[in-house]
Amino acid sequence: MRLLSIGHGYSARALAPLLLARGWDVVGTTRSEEKAEAIATTGVRPVIWPDTDLTEEIAGATHVLHSVSPDDGDPVLAEYSDAFAKARLSWFGYLSTTGVYGDHQGGWVDEDTPLTPSTRRGQARVEAERGWQALAKAHELPLHIFRLAGIYGPGRGPFAKVRKGTARRIIKPGQIFSRIHVEDIAQVLLASIGKPRPGAVYNVCDDDPAPPQDVIAHAADLLDLPRPPEVDFDTADLSPMARSFYAESKRVRNDLIKAELGVRLRYPSYRDGLAALLKAG
């Protein structure tokens, strides 16, 4: 078995050791020689892309994980649609985002909810999903779409900012986010690889959607530090990217990954995840 990980980033790096332990070959693309050297130390064979043509790597893979964000279109779909049309894959995973659902004013969404993104990034994801679905339909590509909630895990948590005193509790009434620990993303992907269902779409999130200020407050409590100050969203000094995350409020259902893939979340709440991160140091 050989996984080609296109855009071998944070989530893919959590999956790779699970496959390597099972005797798989894993190939991961990255953009720089420095990152390639770091990837190689983990047992993954690095490929610098887009400098390298991936046609042969696609032909030699049994499984593909696509983690590259679309900007002005999906660069992988644009360049390699012919290669994927000819590939003989057992599984193709596309990492999307729950941003495709848009704003639901704190209401619940599931995999059947219409896609009504309110941001440019969300619309780009919808277009990418539809492009891959069209290719899959035309050429029997075993496509699986994973709509990821806000990702956290080792190196991506609130503790550093809370310790430095730079964390803030941004208050926007009614704002709700769903989250997912990166280790739970990895186990969802592994479960899908073991039980493929071409055409499947899965929400990947935990059981506990919550206001963002609650997460920051809990992190401070765990550190036994004062809770960061509350800042009104309307007057907060936020980058356009950060502000755009507050444009959408929703609770995301995760029933399908449990019922169909048998996933039991290691970190069903941000409370579990933050406690584990703090314990791990």
pLDDT digits (tens, 9 = 90+) for 149-173: 999 999 999 999 999 999 999 999 9
pLDDT value for 122: 95
pLDDT digits (tens, 9 = 90+) for 8-55: 999 999 999 999 999 999 999 999 999 999 999 999 999 999 999 999
Average pLDDT over the chain reads 97
The predicted model gives 121-147 an average pLDDT of 98
Kindly report the backbone phi and psi dihedral angles of residue 56, in degrees, each rounded to the nearest multiple of 5, phi listed first. -70, -35
The predicted model gives 258-272 an average pLDDT of 98
Edge-first strand listing for the sheet containing 25-30: 45-48, 25-30, 2-6, 63-66, 91-97, 143-148, 201-204
3-class DSSP string for 81-132: HHHHHHCCCCEEEEEEEHHHHCCCCCCEECCCCCCCCCCHHHHHHHHHHHHH
- Calculate what percentage of the chain has a pLDDT beyond 70: 100
pLDDT digits (tens, 9 = 90+) for 46-92: 999 999 999 999 999 999 999 999 988 999 999 999 999 999 999 99
pLDDT value for 71: 85
User: What is the band of 281 on the pLDDT scale with cuts at 50, 70, 90?
Assistant: confident
Element spanning 6, H or E: strand 2-6
pTM greater than 0.85:
yes
Say if CB 181 and CB 152 are below 8 A apart: yes
Cα–Cα distance measured from residue 110 to residue 58, given in angstroms and rounded to the nearest whole number: 32
Element spanning 181, H or E: strand 179-181
User: What is the band of 188 on the pLDDT scale with cuts at 50, 70, 90?
Assistant: very high
Cα–Cα distance measured from residue 89 to residue 263, given in angstroms and rounded to the nearest whole number: 23
pLDDT value for 150: 97
- Calculate what percentage of the chain has a pLDDT beyond 90: 98
Looking at the DSSP assignment, which residues form a beta bridge with residue 45? 27
Cα–Cα distance measured from residue 278 to residue 157, given in angstroms and rounded to the nearest whole number: 9
The predicted model gives 251-269 an average pLDDT of 98
CATH topology classification for 2-153+179-207+251-267: Rossmann fold (3.40.50)
β-pair type (201-204, 63-66): unpaired
